[in-house]
Amino acid sequence: MSQTVELKVDLGERSYPIYIGENLIGDTGAYLNKHGFKTGSPILIVTDETIAPYYLDTVVNSLRSAGYTVVTHIVPAGEQTKSLSMLEAIVTTALTGNLDRNSAVIALGGGVIGDLAGFVAATYMRGIRFIQIPTTILAHDSSVGGKVAVNHKLAKNIIGAFHQPDYVLYDVTTLRTLSPREVRSGLAEMVKHGLIWDEAFVDWLEESASKLLNLDLDALKYGIHQGCRIKSVVVAEDERENDLRAILNLGHTIGHALEAVAGYGELLHGEAIAIGMVGASLLAQKLGYSSDIYTRTKALLQKFELPVSLPKHYDVDAIMEAMSHDKKFKEGKMVFVIPTAIGKVEINRNVPAEWVRETVEQLK
């Protein structure tokens, strides 16, 4: 039996553990028990159509053999599933399945399922308990911090809440069925966590890129543990996003703009922020910080086989326009997370919009 590591997300009364290990989903029932969930109240599992055939039976069987009544709701895979109509459909399942105030919602899936099921848990009967079983690498990011939401057709994540899980059960063996592209995209957020906080972790990422890409389980456990640790330290200091939490947006200003102008499915989130992180390191150079930051950031992302430049057909005006909607523009100046060294960043509120345009052009 390989070792399971436990990381505490320290949020005072709402602190919770993240268990990271192998073959954990078969013990879902035991973990629920350990956390004091009574068998009398039904448990709702929300998952998607891609994940269900691989893992749903294991989770359901584990819960049933521990004596729990289980209700399941399977949604289509993909971002469009994070919607109010899906929320309503899941609430219908919860009501017909007799979920009560002592019930729990289990999110079995990636960030989409975590956000959607978490929002169901935050709002059903004004809030019931919630457990995350992440099945993507990217979800190491979304499983820490308690942000849950659905999208409106005019804006992403605009209808949401803060709702912390009781615990997170991170079974790295489930990551083996991810597509290589989803693997790389999730690793981009892991790289981001290193770049904002911890040079030693960046050193390790440089050495371990091929192990991570090949889904070596020990490397995944360590990388996810470090990524969650860094995110949880940042979130614990600034749960409601005043200042420090903004550093988690490294690469996201340009990245979100790219996602907004890209055709559907053209760029995954991690791919967009990889390009965005290269952009931020180019801006750092313009601001007078060492050019090593750019060289090392780019080389690291290339090791992870992530894109580091813009596809030629992208329109610079459209990207600049998309960034102007991102509330980060003020009188020709923009707010940017800028790397000042490897493992360190600052929030710079005075980046000339002209430099941003030049940077986007340089990325082509």
Name the residues that contact ligand NAD, by CB under 6 A: 48, 50-51, 54, 77-79, 82, 109-113, 115, 135-136, 138-139, 141-142, 145, 147, 157, 174-175, 177-178, 182, 269
| DSSP 3-state of 243 | coil
Nearer to ligand NAD, 244 or 287 (CB): 244
> DSSP readout, 154-222?
TEEEEEEEE---SEEEEEGGGGGGS-HHHHHHHHHHHHHHHHHH-HHHHHHHHHHHHHHHTT-HHHHHH
Q: Kindly tell me which of 248 and 293 has the beta carbon lying closer to ligand NAD.
A: 248
Active site residue 126: yes
Which of 79, 182, 241, 305 is catalytic? The answer is 241
Taking the least distance from each CB to ligand NAD, the nearer of 183 and 205 is: 183
Which residue has its beta carbon closest to ligand NAD? 111
Residue 225 bears catalytic tag: no
Amino acid in position 319: I
Structural contact between residues 28 and 169, judged by C-beta atoms closer than 8 angstroms: yes
- Set 193, 229, 245, 298: catalytic member: 245
Q: Active site includes 344?
A: no
Alpha-carbon distances of 283 from 110, 276, 334, 356, rounded to whole Å: 32, 10, 12, 7
Distance in Å, CB of 352 to ligand NAD, minimum: 29
Q: Are 120 and 82 in contact (CB under 8 A)?
A: no
Closest CA to 174 of 214, 134, 213: 134
For the CB of residue 34, give the shortest distance to ligand NAD in the complex, in Å: 24
The verdict on whether 35 is a catalytic residue reads: no
> Known catalytic residue: 245?
yes
Q: Is 235 within 8 Å of 196 (Cβ atoms)? A: no
State yes or no: 111 annotated in a binding site. yes
**Residue 64 marked as a ligand binder:** no
Q: What's the closest the beta carbon of residue 268 comes to ligand NAD, in angstroms? A: 7
CB of 324 to ligand NAD, least distance (A): 21
Of residues 117, 118, 156, 113, the one with CA closest to residue 136 = 113
Closer residue to ligand NAD, CB minimum distance, 27 or 115 = 115
- Catalytic-residue membership of 193: no
Helix (H) or strand (E) holding 354: helix 353-362
- Is residue 355 helix, strand or coil? helix
Exposed/middle/buried for residue 154 (C-beta within 10 Å: 0-12, 13-18, 19+): exposed
Residue 3 DSSP code? P
Confirm whether residue 156 is marked as ligand binding: yes
Nearest to ligand NAD of 229, 269 (CB atom): 269
- Judge whether 81 is annotated as a binding position: no
Q: Does the annotation flag 136 for ligand binding?
A: yes
Nearer to ligand NAD, 161 or 320 (CB): 161
146 in a labelled binding site: no
To ligand NAD, the closest distance from the beta carbon of 143 in angstroms equals 8
Q: 39: annotated binding-site residue?
A: no
Q: Which amino acid is at 226?
A: Q
Catalytic, 147? Answer yes
Active-site pick, 269, 298, 303, 328: 269
CB of 50 to ligand NAD, least distance (A): 3
Angle at CA of residue 113, ends 109 and 114, nearest 5°: 90
- Assess contact for 173 and 148: CB atoms under 8 A: no
d(C-alpha 298, C-alpha 26), whole Å: 39
220 is in an annotated binding site: no
Q: Identify whether 157 is a catalytic site residue.
A: no
The distance of closest approach from Cβ of residue 11 to ligand NAD in the complex, given in angstroms and rounded to an integer, is 14
Nearest residue to 334 via CA among 345, 323, 322: 323
Measured from the CB atom, is 54 or 329 closer to ligand NAD? Answer: 54
| Catalytic entry in 82, 129, 147, 225 | 147
> Residues comprising the binding site for NAD(+)?
111-115, 135-136, 147, 156, 174-177
Question: Could you tell me which residues are annotated as the binding site?
Answer: 111-115, 135-136, 147, 156, 174-177, 189, 252, 269
Feature table: binding site for Zn(2+): 189, 252, 269
What are the residue numbers of the active site? 126, 147, 189, 231, 241, 245, 249, 252, 256, 269
